Structure 1
Amino acid sequence: MLPIAPLRHFIQKQNVFNLYRLAIRASRVIPDPIARKETISWIRAEFERNKHITDLDLVEDKLRAGRRELGQVLPYRRTQPHSRS
């Protein structure tokens, strides 16, 4: 019987995908197409470099650091919940 991965694993995996998508979308503000392509390649390489990490606490730390660094390097808007008026 295969071991069952805990729910936390799947949640963190989704959080990693969300951060990746956010980083790619945030790179759209880079006006130079060559610089944008290089940035996207760098983002992908960073995610590839860290894909072997299985310690969920370390994944959480890296996600926090990634969000912080993304906010410092690329201007992006966090989506706000829609207000009902």
Structure 2
Amino acid sequence: MPSFRHFILQQRVLHLYRSAIRASRCIPDPRNRTETLGWFRAEIERNRHLTDTVAIENQLNAASREIRQLFPGTRC
């Protein structure tokens, strides 16, 4: 049974994914936007099996950095 910490991390993953969706609106080409979101979702799915909270936090931090690099200013 997942702990409270797992629940909090799950919410952080969802928040990060929503942020990526919002930030991707700045990509003018619909095909590139779809590919970028598909790649991000695949990364989330690839790490779905993780249960160690430290490993999950490390993946979240890495994904946050990648989003900031891909979309430096979320304003279009």
Query: Where on the TM-score scale, by shorter chain, does this alignment land: which range?
Result: 0.7 to 0.9
Q: Does 1:32 align with 2:29?
A: yes
Please say which structure displays the higher CA radius of gyration.
1
TM-score normalised over the length of structure 2? 0.88
Amino acid at match of 1:38: E
Paired position in structure 2 for 1:74:
71
TM-score (norm 1): 0.79
Q: 1:62 corresponds to which letter in structure 2?
A: Q
Partner Cα distance (2:24, 2:46) in 1 = 19
Q: Which structure would you say has the larger RCO, counting Cα contacts within 8 Å and 6 or more residues apart?
A: 2
Mark the runs of 5 or more structure 1 residues left unpaired by the alignment: 78-85
Q: Where in structure 2 are the equivalents of 1:1-12 lying within 5 Å?
A: 3=1, 5-12=2-9
Letter aligned with residue 54 of structure 2? D
Percent same amino acid among aligned pairs? 54
Structure 2, unpaired ranges of 5+: none
Summarize the alignment of residues 12-51 of structure 1 with structure 2, pairs less than 5 Å apart: 12-51=9-48
Query: 1:58, 1:14 → 2: CA distance?
Result: 16
Q: Tell me by how many angstroms 1:43 deviates.
A: 1.1
**How much does 1:6 deviate?**
2.1
The amino acid across from 1:16 in the alignment is V
Runs of 4+ with deviation above 2 angstroms = none
